[in-house]
């Protein structure tokens, strides 16, 4: 079945007013073939549209309509992309999907690498599975910004890291995008002894050569789980290696700042935590362009938390009862600092932070977002947890009350005997949760049908 079959027409929308019907297939807009969501979004922008529709019997008809410029037509299709999601053509030596335990939900093993998801959802792509026609379409439709997993600009090293002989060509595609003013935000998954050191210097210099089309670069440490049997031998960063990398990136960023008024490249918070370094000040992160890669997230959280404390009334803190926080090993000292800040401010906010060892993926995985329900239960049972346990909301599948290992929030509450409060990455919300003030649940990204949202957001990308 074509994926451009209309599944729903929003009441009172321009398409509804024009008489577009559920079950029809949208084949053209203003003479352009509609193949997927990008064509649809791009060609439906204009205020005057001519739609060609085909009914299930194969009869076509043309519908003309007027609407405001940019107004949504009001159509929903069989799938969000109006096409199948593109899977990746690589076999990266550091791929997180390959390092997951067996028996998890099938959606978590899907390796997407789809330019449309990059533009619409912020996913990262490697540019290794695009045909020349698709490259041209990105340029023609001005699909920008896109997020690119670069890792290295050395063609041979890139081919070796991505285990794809054509991976080096992706850098040429980036150069074409740069010449055509497509904005690119870049990510480098850094693997010790492989693409850091001199290779990283070269990568940063090459990417800086594409500035301002290359708009930002994040450097994140490779995640190494205990499920690497038969895979390329990779080790996680040691404290010294992480510190050397932070120094290297900061030096490059400082030089770029002096020449071009932006640092262009940032290490993720995880690198600072691994290196045992203080997080840079808020202004260091400029526009916080790479927040989704965990760049500046903790500093922002601390700043918001501090501002929230300044604004908080005495009465709001008065009812604060003892609580606990569970998080990953790396962020635990940072959260302790926030609890201390609150205690110093009013002496009433009393909480205990529990770092949770990641036994599910292996103890080298220290980020909070990969802590599972089973590890929470096993490590917190019998501990003093106060009146409620706060957890980062990103431990749960987006918009659901389920952890990565399919243990539910209800299971954890029942086993631990306290309410468990998922808290968004937001300093104000965290402070409210510490004080026992209820906040709205985090939004569940209703734009996508649920099954697709989870497919595209497994939360454990490589
Ligand atoms: S890291 Fe990404 S691009 Fe590489 S194999 Fe895994 S899913 Fe594919």
pLDDT value at residue 171: 95
CA 206 – CA 432 distance, rounded (Å): 45
CA 33 – CA 36 distance, rounded (Å): 9
Residues comprising the chain, all counted: 462
| Distance in angstroms between the alpha carbons of the first and the last residue of the chain | 32
CA 34 – CA 39 distance, rounded (Å): 5
CA 368 – CA 208 distance, rounded (Å): 32
Closest ligand 1 atom, residue 94 Cα: 1
pLDDT value at residue 462: 32
Spacing, Cα 149 to ligand 1 middle (Å) = 9
CA 352 – CA 157 distance, rounded (Å): 46
pLDDT value at residue 444: 43
Q: Which residues of the chain have pLDDT under 70?
A: 1-3, 81-82, 112-115, 117-119, 319, 438-462
Q: How many CA atoms lie within 13 A of 340 on its CB side?
A: 6
CA 421 – CA 392 distance, rounded (Å): 8
Spacing, Cα 93 to ligand 1 middle (Å) = 9
Closest ligand 1 atom, residue 462 Cα: 1
113, 159, 187, 194: residue to mutate for ligand 1 pocket, most atoms within 8 A of CB: 113
What's this model's pTM, rounded to 2 decimal places?
0.83
pLDDT value at residue 285: 97
CA 224 – CA 235 distance, rounded (Å): 7
């Amino acid at each position: 079945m074509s994926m451009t079959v209309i599944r729903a027409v929003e009441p009172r929308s321009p398409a509804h007013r024009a008489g577009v019907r559920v079950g029809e297939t949208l084949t053209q807009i203003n003479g352009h073939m509609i193949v997927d969501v990008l064509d649809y979004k791009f060609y439906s922008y204009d205020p005057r549209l001519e739609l060609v529709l085909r009914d299930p019997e194969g009869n076509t008809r043309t519908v003309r309509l007027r609407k405001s410029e940019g107004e949504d037509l009001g159509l929903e299709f069989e799938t969000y992309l109006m096409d199948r999601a593109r899977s990746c053509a690589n076999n990266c030596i550091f791929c997180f999907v390959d390092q997951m335990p067996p028996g998890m939900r099938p959606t978590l093993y899907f390796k997407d690498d789809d330019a449309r998801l990059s533009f619409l959802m912020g996913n990262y792509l490697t540019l290794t599975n695009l045909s020349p026609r698709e490259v041209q379409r990105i340029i023609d439709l001005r699909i920008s910004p896109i997020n690119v997993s670069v890792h290295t600009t050395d063609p041979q090293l890139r081919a070796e890291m991505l285990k794809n002989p054509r991976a080096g060509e992706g850098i040429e595609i980036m150069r074409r995008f740069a010449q055509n003013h497509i904005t690119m935000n870049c990510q480098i998954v850094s693997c010790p002894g492989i693409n850091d050191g001199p290779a990283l210097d070269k990568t940063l210099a090459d990417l800086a050569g594409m500035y301002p089309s290359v708009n930002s670069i994040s450097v994140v440490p490779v995640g190494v789980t205990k499920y690497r049997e038969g895979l390329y031998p990779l080790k996680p960063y040691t404290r010294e290696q992480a510190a050397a990398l932070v120094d290297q990136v900061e030096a490059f960023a400082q030089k770029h700042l002096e020449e071009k008024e932006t640092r262009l490249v940032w290490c993720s918070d995880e690198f600072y935590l691994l290196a045992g370094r203080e997080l840079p000040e808020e202004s260091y992160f400029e526009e916080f362009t790479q927040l989704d890669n965990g760049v500046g997230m903790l500093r922002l959280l601390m700043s918001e938390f501090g501002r929230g404390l300044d604004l908080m009334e005495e009465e709001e803190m008065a009812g604060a009862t003892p609580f606990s926080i569970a998080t990953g090993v790396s962020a635990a000292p940072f959260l302790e600092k926030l609890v201390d800040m609150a205690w110093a401010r009013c002496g009433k906010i009393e909480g205990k932070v529990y770092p949770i060892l990641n036994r599910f993926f292996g103890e080298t995985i220290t980020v909070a977002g990969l802590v599972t329900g089973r590890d929470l239960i096993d490590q917190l049972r019998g501990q003093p947890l106060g009146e409620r346990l706060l957890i980062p909301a990103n431990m749960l599948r987006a918009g659901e009350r389920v952890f990565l290992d399919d243990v539910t929030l209800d299971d954890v509450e029942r086993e631990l005997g306290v309410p468990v409060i998922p808290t968004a990455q937001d300093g104000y919300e965290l402070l409210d949760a510490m004080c026992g003030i209820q906040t709205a649940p985090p939004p569940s990204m209703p734009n996508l049908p649920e099954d697709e949202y989870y497919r595209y957001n497994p939360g454990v990308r490589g």
